Amino acid sequence: MPHKIAVVGSNMMDLVTYVTRMPAPGETLEAPSFEMGHGGKGANQAVAAARLGSRIVMVSKVGDDAFADATIANFQANGIDTVHVGRVSGVSSGVAPIFVDASGENSILIVTGANAHLSPADIDAAAAELGDCDLILMQMEIPAETVYHTIAWANANGVKTLLNPAPAASNLDMSRIAAVSFLAPNETELAILSGLPVGDEREAEVAARSLIAKGVGTVIVTMGSRGALLVEAEATRRVEPVRVTPVDTTGAGDAFIGAFAHFHAAGKPVFDALETAAAYAADSVTKRGTQKSYARADEFERSGAGSR
């Protein structure tokens, strides 16, 4: 049976507008195109891992609207277990207006909606499913208290955890995050969590080591087109980027995290899993869209990138 990953996290409906440039205040521009798609960091990471072959259990909340039905159908179409995706009456599902410019860079707003209702009680209700997982994956588009509770529960039950602390906030309680097995911030999030400057790779390593000193097992610093840093107690290693011409970078970080979770849970050593995840994320930015840009396992192998 495939390894099993639980994703305790968000789902959003992406409302994507492709623009030649962002409008100035008070300016109206005509945009070339618009698309709707499924997103949210939790859902994106779940779909990436599921398409690569992981068995995924989703613990999440949807609202009381048509987006909820579409979200659940999308999870099921990707083979994701939705038993613990709950509906919240009288609340909208999460939505994310996204603007993608001509270079492929994006700007994103999020309306949390039902995601704000995912509670510690929901984690306890899913305990039977979580207990036999190889890894529990979390993000910060759900209440911090739910993330803290999940980490504590996982530690008490011997389950590995990975937290992608996005979006990060300065009021996060590091003492309750520090027990996580893997912490995967970008440079901005690392600076917020550590309280230290992160202007280059040397500073990133210093900041990451300050978190390891507080109890974090391993820190993975994502640096976009510059690759990533793997910072462990014994050593720091650099994950080189895979050079491609980007079309749309939306969801690339989630592709990386979801792919890393899949390959590591499947048995790859951490560094090897990160290298393969970097190739998977690079492949995703060569296509438009978020989840629809995530390759399935056979597609990834055929592309040649999966041999990294």
Enzyme catalytic residues: 254
In order, the DSSP letters of 80-138 are: -EEEEEEE-TT-PPPEEEEEE-TTS-EEE--B-GGGGG--HHHHHHTHHHHTT-SEEEE
Q: What is the CA radius of gyration of the chain?
A: 18
CB atoms within 10 A of CB 221: 25
**What would the two tokens of residue 195 be?**
């309280």
Asked if the bond preceding 32 is cis, omega within 30° of 0, the reply is: no
d(CA 113, CA 297): 32
Give first-to-last CA distance, the chain, whole Å.
Answer: 25
Contact by Cβ (8 Å): 32, 20: yes
d(CA 285, CA 277): 13
How far, CA to CA in Å, does 141 sit from each of 28, 33, 296?
30, 27, 25
CB atoms within 10 A of CB 21: 11
Q: State CA 296 to chain mean position distance.
A: 17
DSSP conformational letter for 186: B
